[in-house]
């Protein structure tokens, strides 16, 4: 996106809270006050380990998870509690690519039958126009036109994910939620699919909310990154700043966990993980920082007070009481070892 061009908001999430459980079961806060913005033509990465709430936020945006409070606005319209009929209409502009390329396609339908479904709902086209639209999209995602006559079982995992991408783009959406869209693929195929997504974005102007647990993958794809832990935002900022100069201990741990080809750097990262994952205090804090019981820099204030998001020392916005200490420790431990992490 041209920095001289004013950003146009496409998706805005404000103070989103999503809870599961109760009244007889303990309440789990999958999202606890999450706010983020996706502008037209850009990619925002949503990263965190399993259980951080990132997939639930994507599901709520799609109307697949109940929202307790807060708001979700798409193209300026509040869709937090949109009706089924309205959701059906919105789906022409808001699509999703799921994680599992084997489970997201109907095995009893040909690829053409799968790809024509969104056209039947949102476009009035004749059969010849439908066939041409399907063939054109298959070629755009790197598959032969003849693929439309075949079944999902006749394709590899990477090819199936290309088909899933084609299905999401059939009706020219403005925003696509990529929910762990490459995590089920091996590394070489991951790189091909990531580069395909970037090419499609450049050609079509589509925006992505890119959800993943792998910070190096998110950095390769994203303009900005939001780091989640137990439903709370730990750090947010420009993708390069988050990846190269993380200020939150949790972001540093995610970065150190990214696989890299150099054995020496990988060993250094593992040593940092062992340090950063060592519990400094027993028990999970109720009112303080969610990461306090796993953070080596935690003190009494971390358990007592939930740190607000505020500008940090490396250019990001971070929720941490001890960012200066964390940044210095990360640098001393080889810090930027994580900057050598794999990219596509």
What DSSP line would sit under 126-142, residue for residue? -HHHHHHHHHHHHHHTT
CA-derived radius of gyration, the chain: 21
**Number of other CB atoms surrounding residue 264 within 10 Å:** 10
Backbone dihedral angles phi then psi of residue 307, each to the nearest 5 degrees = -70, 135
Whether residue 134 sits in one domain with residue 95: yes
Whether residue 178 sits in one domain with residue 271: no
CATH number of the structural domain spanning residue 167: 3.40.50.300
Any domain includes 167: yes
Residue with tokens 């969610």: 290
Q: Span 123-152, mean pLDDT? A: 95
What would the two tokens of residue 320 be? 């941490």
For residue 289, give its domain range.
245-340
Whether residue 143 sits in one domain with residue 29: yes
Residue 292 has pLDDT above 80, yes or no: yes
Decide which of 229, 255, 273 is a domain's last residue: 229
The pLDDT, as a whole number, for residue 275 is: 56
Whether residue 331 sits in one domain with residue 252: yes
Confidence of residue 92 (pLDDT cuts 50, 70, 90): very high
More confident residue, 127 or 338: 127
CA distance 35 to 319: 13
For the chain, the average pLDDT equals 88
Decide which of 200, 229, 258 is a domain's last residue: 229
CA distance 140 to 271: 44
Residue 257 has pLDDT above 50, yes or no: yes
Q: What percent of the chain has pLDDT over 70?
A: 86
What would the two tokens of residue 293 be? 């019981």
Any domain includes 254: yes
Any domain includes 239: no
Q: Span 280-288, mean pLDDT? A: 58
Any domain includes 132: yes
Whether a cis peptide bond, with omega within 30° of 0, leads into 23 is: yes
Whether residue 133 sits in one domain with residue 263: no
Decide which of 169, 194, 229 is a domain's last residue: 229
| pLDDT tens-digit series, residues 198-212 | 999 999 999 999 999
Q: How far is CA 94 from the centre of its chain?
A: 15
Whether residue 128 sits in one domain with residue 275: no
* DSSP symbols for 43-93: EEEEE--TTSSHHHHHHHHTT-S--SEEEEEETTEE-TT--HHHHHHHTTT
Residue pair 169/137 in contact by the 8 Å Cβ criterion: yes
Domain count along the chain: 2
Give alpha helix (H) positions in the chain: 54-61, 84-90, 111-122, 127-140, 157-169, 187-204, 215-221, 239-244, 249-256, 263-276, 300-304, 323-332
Q: Span 232-259, mean pLDDT? A: 90
The pLDDT, as a whole number, for residue 101 is: 80
How many helices, marked H, and strands, marked E, lie in the chain? 12, 12
Confidence of residue 279 (pLDDT cuts 50, 70, 90): very low
Confidence of residue 268 (pLDDT cuts 50, 70, 90): low
Confidence of residue 26 (pLDDT cuts 50, 70, 90): confident
Q: Span 36-49, mean pLDDT? A: 96
The pLDDT, as a whole number, for residue 79 is: 97
Any domain includes 317: yes
């Amino acid at each position: 996106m041209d920095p001289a061009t004013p950003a146009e908001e496409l998706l805005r999430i404000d103070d989103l809270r999503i809870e599961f459980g109760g009244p007889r079961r303990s309440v789990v806060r999958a999202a606890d006050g999450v706010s983020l913005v996706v502008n037209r033509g850009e990619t925002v990465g949503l990263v965190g380990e399993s259980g951080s709430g990132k997939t639930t936020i994507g599901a709520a945006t799609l109307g697949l998870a109940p929202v307790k409070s807060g708001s979700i606005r798409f193209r300026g319209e509040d869709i937090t509690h949109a009706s089924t009929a309205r959701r059906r209409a919105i789906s022409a502009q808001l699509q999703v690519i799921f994680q599992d390329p084997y489970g997201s396609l109907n095995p009893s339908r040909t690829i053409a039958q799968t790809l024509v479904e969104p056209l039947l709902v949102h476009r009035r086209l004749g059969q010849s126009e439908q066939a041409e639209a399907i063939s054109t999209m298959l070629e755009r995602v790197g598959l032969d036109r003849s693929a439309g006559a075949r079944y999902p079982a006749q394709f590899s995992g990477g090819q199936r994910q290309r088909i899933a991408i084609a299905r999401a783009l059939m009706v020219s959406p403005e925003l696509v939620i990529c929910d762990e869209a490459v995590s089920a693929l091996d590394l070489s195929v991951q790189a091909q699919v990531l580069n395909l997504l970037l090419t499609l974005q450049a050609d079509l102007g589509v925006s992505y909310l890119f959800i993943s647990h792998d910070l190096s993958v998110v950095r390769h794809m994203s303009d900005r990154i939001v780091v989640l832990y137990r439903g709370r935002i730990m750090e947010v900022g420009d993708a390069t700043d988050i990846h190269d100069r993380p200020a939150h201990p949790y972001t540093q741990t995610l970065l150190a966990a990214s696989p890299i080809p150099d054995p020496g750097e990988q060993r250094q990262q593992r040593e940092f993980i062992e340090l950063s994952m060592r519990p400094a205090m027993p028990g999970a804090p109720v009112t303080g920082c969610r990461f306090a019981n796993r953070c080596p820099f935690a003190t009494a204030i971390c358990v007592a007070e939930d740190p607000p998001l505020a500008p940090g020392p490396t250019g990001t916005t971070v929720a941490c009481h001890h960012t200066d200490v964390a940044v210095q420790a990360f640098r001393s431990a080889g810090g930027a070892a994580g900057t050598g992490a794999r990219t596509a």
